[in-house]
Structure 1
Amino acid sequence: MRAITVVLIVLLTLVHAELWLGRGGVPRTIELSNKLERQRQENLAAKARNSQLAAEVSDLQEGLEMVEEKARFELGMIKPDEILVQVAQRRP
């Protein structure tokens, strides 16, 4: 009877050691939970950026005003009868 008790205690100790220190143990589970939360935050940021880009694409496909505005500010477009005037601000 005494041998069975010792064997069961040793097996219980091994199971606990695996639980706390093993590959699928508590520290690894906590690490993976933290990693999952970081990935969810990154996914939310990417979804917001994708929504913004989708709205911009939709505007570009539907309206010419957005195309003209982008061409003016990003590419410096000037219409044939316009004069471009740039005002530089003075440094203090």
Structure 2
Amino acid sequence: MKWIALVLCVILISLQYRLWFGQSSYQKIQLQQQKIQQISTENQELANRNKKLFAEIEDLRKGVEAVEERARYQLGMIKEGETFFRLLNKDPD
């Protein structure tokens, strides 16, 4: 009877060791779940960014307004016949 109890204790200890310190321990599983959550969040952010970029590309392909807006704000271009006014802040010196 003592041998059976001893064998059961050894089995219990080995299972507990595996649970807390082994290759598939509770801590490692938690770390992997955190990594999965982080990667999923990053993937969702990148997917949203891609959707915005695809929408902008589609707008640039189909619409003239988007191209005109970029030319005005990024390149400083003006249309023919328009008057350009530049407002300067007066220095309080």
Range class of TM-score, shorter chain: 0.7 to 0.9
Gaps of 5+ in 2: none
Normalising by structure 2, we get a TM-score of 0.83
Q: 3-state DSSP class of the match of 2:38?
A: helix
Instruction: Identify the residue that residue 74 of structure 1 maps to in structure 2.
Output: 74
Percent of pairs identical after alignment?
A: 36
Gaps of 5+ in 1: none
Which region of structure 1 is more displaced relative to structure 2, 1-10 or 36-45?
A: 1-10
For residues 60 and 79 of structure 1, what CA distance do their matches in structure 2 show? 18
How many residues get paired? 92
Tell me the residue number matched to 1:47: 47
How far residue 27 of structure 1 moved from its aligned partner, in angstroms, is: 0.4
Q: CA deviation at 1:91?
A: 7.2
- The CA RMSD measured in Å over matched residues stands at 1.9
SS in 2 for 1:46: helix
Structure 1 window deviating more from structure 2 (36-45 vs 56-65): it is 36-45
Residues 90/25 of structure 1: CA separation in 2 closer, same or farther (3 Å cut): farther
Shift in alpha-carbon separation, 1:90–1:16, aligned structure 2, 3 A = farther
- Measure the CA separation in 2 of the matches of 1:77 and 1:6: 87
Runs (4+) off by over 3 Å: 80-83, 88-92
